[in-house]
Structure 1
Amino acid sequence: MKIAVGCLIVLAALTAPSLAARTVSQAGYDLIKGFEGLSLVAYQDIGGVWTIGYGNTRYQDGSAVRQGDTITQQGADDLFQYWVDQSFAPEVDRLVGNGVVLRQQQFDALVSFTYNIGTGAFSTSTLLSKVRVWPDDPTIRDEFMRWVYVNGQVSQGLVNRREKEADFYFS
């Protein structure tokens, strides 16, 4: 009897869909870092928000980056890894949902996008709605391109970023 129950458990585990959380690939990390650049001294981004490291506005404890803050290279790497792995990737995974099959580059592009606009904005975006319905919908490219404004003005830096994120998503 024990063997039969054990076999059923093993069989169920082999046939059940994987619920493992999606994670960012090295190419995804490199994509985000390439857009964000690195600053070991706090600076104001184009929206006027104090930022440090690879585009981080908060530290691991949740406190805001402030004028005059500095960070080491290792500190910047740790801070980046923390926010991508503990916040952005899990939240994108949760918002997209388990039933949606994404290729790695699609997931990475969505994490890069969300790292830039925030999880709140991503959660209500038409881009997310379209991804949930059909991740290969060609109009998703247009949804990336809607997010190119800073204070009502088109930012060429965001146009460039969105084009590259969309290209990466569809690669």
Structure 2
Amino acid sequence: MKIAVCCVIVLAALAAPSLAARTVSQEGYDLIKGFEGLSLVAYQDVGGIWTIGYGNTRYQDGSAVRQGDTITQQGADDLFQYWVDQSVKVDRLVGTGVVIRQVQFDALVSITYNIGTGAFSTSTLLSKVRVFPDNPTIRDEFLRWVDVNGQVVQGLVNRRTKEADYYFSKVENMC
């Protein structure tokens, strides 16, 4: 009986929409940072775009990263936080009537951080999440975002596979 009551409470909490803005979990931050890596000196990514910090192509003011740019560790952390905060708009895009678990939210923030809010907002991935967040074909939608300039990039295949695995991972020991 204790397990059943606990599970009912947990399920009710999962189903109840939150009035507070959702934040990325520490695991979500670690997931994104692990994919992006850190560079304090601007470099060209696989698409030839100048990038700095944790995979950032733009600064907080919207200006593009340029060749020769450098950043401090604190600057990289601040820039990372700024762009993660922009990606947290995922909750608004998903919609208030759709309940997603923290792992799902974190995985969606991770892909949005990488592809941008604009691309995510018009994606079939988002459309499917809005209809049924546990739809198994959502995994396929993550894997549609693996090419740069028409070429499949193995690093993106690896990232999308891990993001999809994380999205579908279950909370352990809920009760």
Aligned to 1:78: 78
Aligned to 2:106: 108
Aligned to 1:158: 156
Q: Is the CA contact 1:40–1:73 (under 8 Å) kept in the aligned structure 2?
A: yes
Aligned to 1:9: none
CA distance in 2, matches of 1:169, 1:47: 26
| Structure 1 unpaired stretches of 5+ | 1-15
Q: Is the CA contact 1:28–1:112 (under 8 Å) kept in the aligned structure 2?
A: yes
Aligned to 2:119: 121
Deviation of 1:61 (Å): 1.6
Matched, 1:147 2:150: no
Structure 1, residues 8-51: CA drift from partner, whole Å, max 9, x if none?
A: xxxxxxxx953222211110000000000000000111111111
Structure with larger Rg = 1
SS at the partner of 1:76? helix
Structure 2 letter corresponding to 1:155: V
SS at the partner of 1:43? strand
CA distance in 2, matches of 1:96, 1:52: 29
Structure 1 letter corresponding to 2:147: Y
Which of 84, 90, 93 is the matching residue for 1:92? 90
Q: Is the CA contact 2:41–2:70 (under 8 Å) kept in the aligned structure 1?
A: yes
Identity among equivalent pairs (%):
88
Aligned length: 154
CA distance in 1, matches of 2:61, 2:147: 29
Instruction: Provide TM-score, normalisation by structure 2.
Output: 0.85
| Structure 2 unpaired stretches of 5+ | 1-15, 170-175
* Ranges of 4+ aligned residues in structure 1 off by more than 2 Å: 16-19
Which of 150, 162, 166 is the matching residue for 1:168? 166
